[in-house]
Chain A
Amino acid sequence: MAADTAKVDPMHQFAIEPIFGSDWAIAGHNIAFTNSALWMLIAGICLWIFMIGGMKREVVPGRWQMAVETMTGFIDDLLEANMGKEGRKYVPYVFTLFMFILFANLLGLIPLPLAMAGVHAFTFTSHFTVTGVLAIMTFAIVLTVGFWKHGLHFFSLFVPHGTPTLMIPLIFVIELISFLFRPFSLGLRLFVAMMSGHVLLEVLSSFVIDAANAGPAYGVLIGGPSFILMIAICALELLVAGIQAYVFALLTSLYINDAEHLH
């Protein structure tokens, strides 16, 4: 039994393993091609293949072209709604971000058939090193745009209209802190949502395996419901995968809007 429980370590799925290039390094930092990097690449290639379907540029679109145009239109509308006309120039960035995260989340959920072939899907969005870098990229764009467009006037973002003069220092500090927390909340939200779902699935699957090993009665009584719950949670995870990608894109657009228009 001990061997079985050790096999189903819920956190093992998040372990990063080098595939090749273990000795590659830039300035002393190891940049081995890991399973994480592999799935980034797979997500990128899938996204690229998806986008090729949208390059037919027919006036009357087919289903695939329609799907691609729906996605670009979705991001375009999102930015238009939150930012107005200026939003259009951020479509490339937010679209790439949204689709990359979406594909990463969905590919990370690929279940059994691949796993049986020995290929384990790796959800790199469940690593805060990745989500953190994405969040910092967004934040860097916010800061660059903010200071580029408004200079030091950008700091007025931290003083909402109609603040009493006496309150300005206090409000400024509070707003500044909440502003500086944005990249953390942005990165952590995606990381936590993806990790918790995968841990939950793994824990439930360990219930199924352990219950089945403990005997047929346990297997039916505990393993069966756990298995049904797993399927339901898989559906929920698909939803979460979409929602988290959307939330990331939405918050990115809101933050950039703050930088574009202040208040």
Chain B
Amino acid sequence: MPQIAQMSETFASQLFWLLLVFGILFFVIGKGMVPKVMDTVGLRDKQIADDLAAAQAARDAADAEEEAWRTRENANRASAQALVGEAKAKAQASTEARLAEVQVGIDARMAQAEARIAASRDAAAGEIEAVAADAAKDIVSRLAGVNVDQTAALGAVKKAMAHG
């Protein structure tokens, strides 16, 4: 086993070269290069974290903006709806008032017309009675040769008309 057989003669050489090489590596690579590499990684991580934070902030701002817009929009919509409702109610009220007014006019005219109709009917009925009485008196005097006076004839006509 050379490790043991050669130990005493090679130990100094092994120790010397190992310490020399490892020492140089430690200072050049361990102390010189590794921190720079780790700095690069740290810098990148930091940049990524910053970018992510910025993106998050932008997103939050956008969310807040949207929320504000939504509230504003809702308020606008509500006020618009209130306006529409008000206009509708006003229109309804004025329509109703106008309708009532017109209705009153119509009612009055209808009542007048009805009164006129009733008067005409009464007049017509009176005329019919008079004509009927004349006719009855005429018929009676021709058939029976009896002269009936006007009053009696009218009374008989009224009686007959009342019976239908």
A contact set with B: CB distance below 8 Å = 11-12, 14-16, 18, 26, 29-34, 36-37, 40-41, 43-44, 47-48, 51, 54-55, 57-59, 61, 65, 68-69, 72-73, 76, 91-93, 95-96, 99-100, 124, 126-130, 133-134, 137, 191, 195
Cα A76 to Cα B15 with chains together (Å): 28
Bitwise interface map of B from 8 to 35 toward A, beta carbon under 8 Å scored 1, else 0: 0111111111110110111011110111
Contact indicator A57/B36 (Cβ below 8 Å): yes
Judging by beta carbons under 8 Å apart, are B25 and A100 in contact?
yes
11 A-B interface contacts by CB (under 8 A): A16-B14, A29-B11, A30-B10, A30-B13, A33-B13, A34-B10, A37-B17, A37-B21, A61-B44, A100-B21, A195-B3
Interchain CB contact (< 8 A) of A33 among B3, B17, B18: B17
Q: Which residue of A lies closest to B42 (CB)?
A: A76
Q: In the complex, how many residue pairs between chain A and chain B have their CB atoms under 8 Å apart?
A: 137
B1 x A14 contact (CB < 8 A): yes
Is there contact, CB below 8 Å, between A31 and B25? no
Q: Decide yes or no whether B6 CB sits under 8 A from chain A.
A: yes
Asked whether any CB of chain A lies closer than 8 Å to the CB of B74, the reply is: no
Return chain B residues, CB-CB under 8 Å to A29: 11-13, 16
Closest 10 CB pairs of A and B: A92-B30, A29-B12, A37-B17, A96-B30, A31-B16, A15-B2, A40-B21, A129-B14, A14-B2, A54-B37
Cβ-defined contact, A99 with B29, below 8 A: yes
Interchain CB contact under 8 A, A44 and B13: no
B10, chain A: closest CB distance, angstroms: 5
| Contact A51 B33, CB 8 Å, known A16-B10, A29-B12, A44-B21 | yes
**Interface residue total, chain B, C-beta cutoff 8 A:** 37
Give Cα A58 to B3, complex, Å.
45
Alpha-carbon distance between A23 and B109 when the two chains are bound, in angstroms: 146
- In the complex where A15-B6, A31-B16, A129-B10 touch, is A96 in contact with B29 (Cβ < 8 A)? yes
B38–A91 touching, CB < 8 Å: yes
Which residue in chain B gives the minimum CB-CB distance to A90?
B30
Which residues of B are found within 8 Å of A57, using beta-carbon distances?
36-37, 39-40
In the complex, are the beta carbons of B15 and A44 less than 8 A apart? no
A32–B35 CB distance below 8 A:
no
B17 closest partner in A (C-beta): A37
- Decide: B40 and A11 in contact? CB cutoff 8 A: no
- Cα(A133)–Cα(B16), bound, Å: 10
With contacts A69-B40, A95-B30, A95-B34 known, is A133 near B3, CB below 8 A?
Answer: no
Q: Is B36 in contact with A55, judged by CB distance below 8 angstroms? A: yes
| Distance from A209 Cβ to chain B, minimum over Cβ atoms (Å) | 21
Closest Cβ of chain B: how far from A83's Cβ, in Å? 16
A40-B18, A44-B21 provided; 12 other pairs, C-beta below 8 A? A11-B2, A18-B13, A31-B12, A33-B13, A34-B10, A36-B10, A43-B21, A57-B40, A59-B43, A72-B38, A76-B38, A129-B11
User: A133 to B10, Cβ gap below 8 A?
Assistant: no
B residues in contact with A30, CB < 8 Å: 9-10, 12-13
